[in-house]
């Protein structure tokens, strides 16, 4: 097995190198790893790789109308798929997967390609060697909301690119959907999404603690008349409101950050959630941490074990935690059926979305 930049290269036999065998043995019994240099190298191999991923909307299926059985079927079929799709030398499919609950499945998407090596003997005789290795990209599918986190990588020095990877991923997923009696995908899109001001307000009010708040163009005229600044001394409310009526028109942007253990909701500046245009809010609900942005985050840098035969539950849960923290209220919202889904003229191509 040869490690690439952000992805892993495997031979078509699927067998790891001798170092990988030693690595597995060392994990089982580190006392037997007596070679310090080898042990250090193997520990590096065991570290997760930082990769870039895009969170894409899956348009085509009517996610809001799927039954629980269909939702579970999608995750189960991906997790339990026993064969790769296609044929040599371009097999492709889901490998090393693991399920979280009934509707989340993650792991690797394997893509085979044809490679040719040129070798010369000492007498300059040319020998050509043909190989059919695989590349893998990381993915997490949320079958209840119709979203997929898919690694976006650059394949260096081989005849693969993300256009091919996305096309084959969509084809493989369509075969799974067909087996679950779900309408086919017509595009995987990085859909620009804005957080509504009403969602900022809703999350602010239900939060336990707000530790960061960025607001643009505040004006006290937007603050509800019944807003209470100071209780029980309600006579101070109008004084504070008048002060903010004076100050806010002079401000273009206000970035607030609480001290450790502090809470912006306990200050008089909590009226800013009403007064201006929220850009970002970092907050807690109980012990759970969230970040809400005006421009909903779609691109993520995460750390994943790209050398494992099967993705670990711990690794999957850590990535899902990041998605929930960064997407806040939107991660579980089902992707709607795209308005132009039935029209070829209105199709949005995922190919134009790539970096």
Give me the number of domains the chain comprises.
2
What are the residues facing 139 on neighbouring strands?
107, 150
Tell me the whole-structure pTM to 2 decimals. Answer: 0.77
Handedness of CA 58, 59, 64, 70 (dihedral sign): negative
Do 83 and 63 have their domain in common? yes
3-state SS class at 50: strand
3-state SS class at 263: coil
pLDDT digits (tens, 9 = 90+) for 286-320: 999 999 999 999 999 999 999 999 999 999 999 99
- Looking at residues 16-36, what average pLDDT do you find? 38
- Looking at residues 44-50, what average pLDDT do you find? 67
pLDDT digits (tens, 9 = 90+) for 135-179: 999 999 999 999 999 999 999 888 999 999 999 999 999 999 999
Do 151 and 13 have their domain in common? yes
Q: Which of 275, 295, 315 is the last residue of a domain?
A: 295
Please give the DSSP secondary-structure letter assigned to residue 103.
T
Model pLDDT, residue 10: 52
Do 38 and 156 have their domain in common? yes
Do 188 and 213 have their domain in common? no
Do 323 and 250 have their domain in common? no
Do 25 and 138 have their domain in common? yes
Banded pLDDT at 48 (limits 50, 70, 90) = confident
Model pLDDT, residue 228: 86
CA 238, CA 227: separation in Å to the nearest integer?
Answer: 10
Do 233 and 212 have their domain in common? yes
Alpha helices in the chain (DSSP H): 18-28, 36-46, 68-80, 162-179, 197-206, 237-247, 272-275, 313-327
- Looking at residues 246-271, what average pLDDT do you find? 95
Do 43 and 59 have their domain in common? yes
- Looking at residues 91-100, what average pLDDT do you find? 96
CA proximity to 213, closest of 288, 294, 295, 280:
280
Between vectors from CA 148 to CA 143 and to CA 149, what angle results, nearest 5°? Answer: 140
Which of 109-123, 245-259, 306-320 shows the lowest mean pLDDT across its residues? 109-123
Do 142 and 263 have their domain in common? no
Banded pLDDT at 343 (limits 50, 70, 90) = very low
Q: Could you tell me the residue range of the domain that residue 287 belongs to?
A: 197-295
Q: Which of 277, 295, 313 is the last residue of a domain?
A: 295
CA 344, CA 347: separation in Å to the nearest integer?
Answer: 5
Do 11 and 159 have their domain in common? yes
Do 117 and 144 have their domain in common? yes
Do 112 and 232 have their domain in common? no
Q: Which of 253, 275, 295 is the last residue of a domain?
A: 295
Model pLDDT, residue 264: 97
């Amino acid at each position: 097995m040869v490690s690439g930049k952000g992805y892993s290269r495997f031979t078509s036999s699927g067998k790891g190198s001798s170092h990988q065998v030693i690595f597995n043995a060392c994990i089982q019994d580190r006392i037997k790893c007596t070679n310090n240099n080898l042990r250090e190298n193997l520990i590096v191999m065991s570290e997760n790789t930082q990769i870039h991923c895009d969170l894409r909307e899956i348009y085509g299926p009517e996610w809001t109308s799927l039954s629980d059985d269909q939702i579970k079927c999608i995750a189960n079929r991906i997790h339990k798929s026993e064969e790769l799709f296609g044929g040599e030398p371009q097999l492709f499919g889901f490998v090393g997967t693991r399920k979280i609950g009934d509707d989340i499945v993650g792991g690797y998407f394997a893509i085979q390609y044809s490679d040719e090596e040129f070798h010369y003997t000492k007498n300059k005789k040319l020998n050509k060697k043909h190989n059919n290795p695989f590349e893998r990209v990381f993915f997490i599918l949320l079958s209840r909301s119709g979203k997929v986190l898919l690694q976006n990588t650059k394949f260096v020095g081989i005849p693969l690119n993300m256009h091919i990877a996305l096309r084959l991923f969509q084809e493989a997923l369509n075969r799974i959907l067909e087996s679950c009696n779900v309408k086919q995908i017509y595009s995987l899109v990085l859909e620009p999404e804005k957080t509504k001001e009403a969602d900022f307000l809703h999350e602010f009010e239900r939060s336990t603690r707000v530790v960061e708040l960025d607001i643009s163009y505040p004006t006290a005229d937007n603050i509800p008349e019944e807003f209470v600044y100071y209780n029980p001394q309600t006579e101070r409310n109008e004084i504070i409101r008048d002060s903010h009526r004076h100050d806010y028109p002079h401000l273009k942007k206000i970035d607030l950050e609480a001290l450790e253990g502090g809470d912006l909701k306990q200050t008089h500046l909590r009226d800013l959630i009403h007064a201006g245009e929220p850009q970002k809010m970092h907050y807690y609900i109980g012990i759970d941490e969230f970040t809400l942005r005006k421009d909903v985050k779609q691109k993520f840098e995460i750390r994943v074990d790209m050398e494992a035969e099967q993705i670990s539950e711990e690794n999957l849960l850590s990535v899902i935690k990041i998605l929930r923290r960064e997407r806040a209220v939107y991660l579980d919202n089902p992707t709607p059926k795209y308005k132009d889904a039935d029209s070829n003229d209105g199709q949005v191509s995922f190919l134009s979305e790539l970096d």
